[in-house]
Amino acid sequence: GFKPNEKLTKEELKKNRQQRKKDLKRSRQEAERKDMFEIINQSKHMWGDLRRKNCEKDLKKKLLRELRDLIHGKVKQMAFAHDAVRVLQCYIQFSNHEQRQEVFEELKDDILSLSKSQYGRHVVKKLLMYGNKELVAAVINRFKGHVRQMLRHAAASSIIEYAYNDKAVLAQRLMLTDELYGNTYTVCKVNTHTKARKYCFISAPPEGRQTHRPLLEQVIKHSLVHKVFLDFFQCAPEKQRTEMIESIRQSVVYMAHTHDGARVAMNCLWHGTAKVCTRSTCNSFTCTYRSSHDMFKNPRDPAHLLPEIIKVLEQGDGNAHSKKDKATRRKELLEVVSPPLLEYLCNNAAAMAIDKATSVTISDILASACGDLRPAMMAVAQLANQELVPGGIKGELHMAEHPAGHLVLKWLIEQDVTLAEAGKEERFGRILVDTVGTNKMKSWAKVNRGAMVLCSLLNSCDKSVAAEVKAALQSIRSELSSISNNKGVEILLENLNK
């Protein structure tokens, strides 16, 4: 028995409280679950062994067979229980197709309610994730007629979004989006979906066309809905299109992350009034500038954009609301996007300079951005402000030796000519020399890539920069001459002799 309370230590009192809680929980679950109580307990013990990474293949097969016998006919009760549902998820993951099919057969009439359940939705997702084509098709077919209802539900919307984006084939995607087009489409649907959708949008009475709007706040982020909006913009008459743009303009930013949603956003910009476009772009630029800078640098340049994308962009040319020429529009867009681009570069220069993909964007930003380029240039120059140790320190290469970093330095130095021609005052070569100093720069000549950066400085359009670097390198000329099998040093010496 227990000791009197006054004689128990704090630790013993705590253990007693915890034990009483466990006993209460057990008795409550036993009363609630009745005959399921022992079944769930046994299944949880099996689950403990089954989910281990070191569980052997033969043992896993044995546990799955035992678990199959144990839960047969009781899958539904387990799917809605917060603890037992984990067992079921594990079982679906490791079982074979036949066993998964058996689970589905027990749950097929409850797929919708499971999708709305805080715990049960995970079972539906596992069936979609691990099921074969036939099982996935059977699960998705259960959503038919309930898509709107599911999209409005916090839990169910994540399931239908996963099914649409990750598992559904084209025919299944069309089936899921069909009921979002309104009653007119359902009645008039023909084999050619595009014709039916066009008829739906054009001929539906006003109240029918309003079906999109109640969904807006709840479902605007779902890619399933973006497809419907895109079809609307491609088919609807001008008046309806203008009304829709006005109603969704505050939400466009939440659509720009998907393929169809981005095209909806473009349609809003193309066909919206100047007032709508200004508000939309102000809201969305801060989220999209990182992926759109190439368009501003060289609009529709095949070097940056695929021909297919250029054709899509051309659809917005000559729209009714734009009275400005391309050059003026580009200038105004640059004025809006430049501050966040330059700020992003200042804050992320280190990560961008050593990444092969993003390093290219540094020179693009500094070549095209409006405003003060100096802070961003200084942020990049500061990365090179240290002695160069060949091979790097603790595995980290100096920027002038880095495969991507040295190219950034070269591009920015050579780009000073372009900045001068554009009438801009900043020169990266000057900022680099002032930040690093020519004494540290001498160490760059030890490696091939560093020597190539120095060559770019010797050929800088800023004559004072070239003169200072040349004077510093002349002092180590004899050392450079003694270095063999280094193409960069050979080119550097040739430039010093000019």
Q: Which residue has the higher pLDDT, 176 or 189?
A: 176
What gap in Å lies between CA 396 and CA 401, rounded to an integer? 10
Burial of 17 (0-12, 13-18, 19+ CB in 10 A): exposed
Task: Name the DSSP class of 7.
Answer: G
The three-state secondary structure class of 315 is coil
What gap in Å lies between CA 366 and CA 354, rounded to an integer? 17
Query: What percent of the chain is predicted at pLDDT more than 90?
Result: 36
Cα 271 to chain centroid distance, Å, stands at 27
The three-state secondary structure class of 393 is strand
Query: Using CA of residue 425, residue 427, residue 433, residue 436, what is the dihedral sign?
Result: positive
What is the per-residue pLDDT across 102-149, written as a single tens digit (0 to 9) for each? 999 999 999 999 999 998 999 999 999 999 999 999 999 999 989 988
**Helical spans, DSSP H, in 237-384:** 238-248, 259-271, 274-297, 307-314, 326-353, 356-368, 374-382
Q: How many CA atoms lie within 13 A of 367 on its CB side?
A: 19
Q: Which CATH architecture has domain 36-180?
A: Alpha Horseshoe (1.25)
Task: Name the DSSP class of 385.
Answer: -
Identify which of 295, 213, 301 has the alpha carbon closest to the alpha carbon of residue 262: 295
Burial of 135 (0-12, 13-18, 19+ CB in 10 A): middle
Please report the pLDDT score of residue 285 as a whole number.
44
What is the per-residue pLDDT across 235-264, written as a single tens digit (0 to 9) for each? 888 888 888 888 887 778 888 888 888 888
Q: What's the mean pLDDT in 91-107?
A: 93
Q: Which residue has the higher pLDDT, 23 or 473?
A: 473
Q: What's the mean pLDDT in 153-158?
A: 91
Computed over every residue of the chain, the mean pLDDT equals 82
Q: What's the mean pLDDT in 21-28?
A: 69
- Phi, psi (degrees; rounded to nearest 5) at 393: -115, 125
Structure tokens at 44: 């949880």
> Cβ atoms within 10 A of the Cβ of 206, count?
8
pLDDT band with cut points at 50, 70 and 90 for residue 291: very low
Q: What's the mean pLDDT in 445-461?
A: 91
Q: What's the mean pLDDT in 214-224?
A: 70
Please report the pLDDT score of residue 162 as a whole number.
95
What is the per-residue pLDDT across 348-384, written as a single tens digit (0 to 9) for each? 999 999 998 889 889 989 998 889 999 999 999 999 9
Q: Which residue has the higher pLDDT, 20 or 63?
A: 63
Q: What's the mean pLDDT in 311-320?
A: 77
pLDDT band with cut points at 50, 70 and 90 for residue 429: very high
Poorest-confidence range of 25-29, 169-173, 313-317, 493-497? 25-29
Residue pointed to by tokens 């020169």: 427
pLDDT band with cut points at 50, 70 and 90 for residue 292: very low
Please report the pLDDT score of residue 34 as a whole number.
58
User: 432: which residues sit within 8 A by CB, 6+ positions away?
Assistant: 381, 384, 409, 412, 413, 457
Please report the pLDDT score of residue 398 as a whole number.
94
Identify which of 415, 306, 309, 404 has the alpha carbon closest to the alpha carbon of residue 360: 404
Please report the pLDDT score of residue 2 as a whole number.
44
pLDDT at 345 over 90: yes
pLDDT band with cut points at 50, 70 and 90 for residue 208: very low
Q: What's the mean pLDDT in 469-484?
A: 86
pLDDT at 199 over 60: no
pLDDT at 43 over 60: yes
pLDDT band with cut points at 50, 70 and 90 for residue 293: very low
Q: Which residue has the higher pLDDT, 393 or 17?
A: 393
Structure tokens at 172: 């299944």
Poorest-confidence range of 196-205, 347-356, 361-370, 464-473? 196-205
Poorest-confidence range of 17-26, 115-124, 240-249, 430-439? 17-26
Concatenate the DSSP letters of all residues of 191-249 into one string: SSHHHHHHHHHHHS-HHHHGGGGGGHHHHTT-HHHHHHHHHHHHHS-HHHHHHHHHHHG
Q: Which residue has the higher pLDDT, 7 or 335?
A: 335
Q: How many CA atoms lie within 13 A of 479 on its CB side?
A: 11
Helix and strand counts by DSSP (H, E) for the chain: 32, 0
